[in-house]
Amino acid sequence: MNTSPKMEMEMKMETKAAPEAGMIKKSNEEWRTVLSPEQFKILREKSIEKRGSGEYVKLFEEGIYCCVGCGNPVYKSTTKFDSGCGWPAFFDAIPGAINRTEERAGLRYEITCTKCDGHLGHVLKNEGFPTPTDERHCVNSVALKFSSAITSQ
C-alpha cells in the first residue's frame, strides 16, 4: 500500500495515542484520597520502601500481582524468584503491563505501570541470576496488591 507522508504521520500519531486511551490520570490531590501516604510516596514520588519491609518479599503463593494504584495486573507469581535483595523480585512482567525508562546505560531501568504511570521499582540486567531473561524486576511491595489464585472450596 502506497501512503503519503501525511497519512504515515497520522498513522504514527494514532499508534502513539492508543496507549494513552486507557490511561488513568489524576491530580496529586486525587491520588492522595485513594492511596495511603506510603503508597503515594512510592507510586507518585518515586520513593523506595525500606529493604526487607515489604509484605510480598517472602510470599510465593500462586496468583497475580496488580498495581495498587489502578488494579492493572503487572506480574504473575510464576515469574517471581528469591533474589535475596529484600524486595519482591520477578524475571518478567505481564506483556504490556509496564513501561521502562533507561537510567544507567542499559543496565538499570525505572519501571512504571502502563495504566496509571505509578512507579513500581527498577529492572536490573545482567546480574547472572539463573532466570530465562537475566533480569531482576526489583519491585516495591507497597506498589502491589496480590490476588491469590487459591480459592476456598
What residues are labeled active site?
A: 138
The closest alpha carbon to 23, from 77, 96, 92, belongs to 96
Q: Cβ of 66: how many Cβ atoms within 10 Å?
A: 21
First to last CA, the chain: 56
Instruction: Tell whether 67 is in a known binding site.
Output: yes
The SS3 assignment for 98 reads strand
Reported as type and span, the H/E element at residue 135 is: strand 135-139
Instruction: Tell whether 66 is in a known binding site.
Output: no
Cα 114 to Cα 103: distance, rounded to the nearest angstrom: 18
Q: CB-based contacts of 48: which residues, under 8 Å, 6+ apart?
A: 42, 121, 140
Name the binding residues.
Answer: 67, 70, 113, 116
Name the binding residues for Zn(2+).
Answer: 67, 70, 113, 116
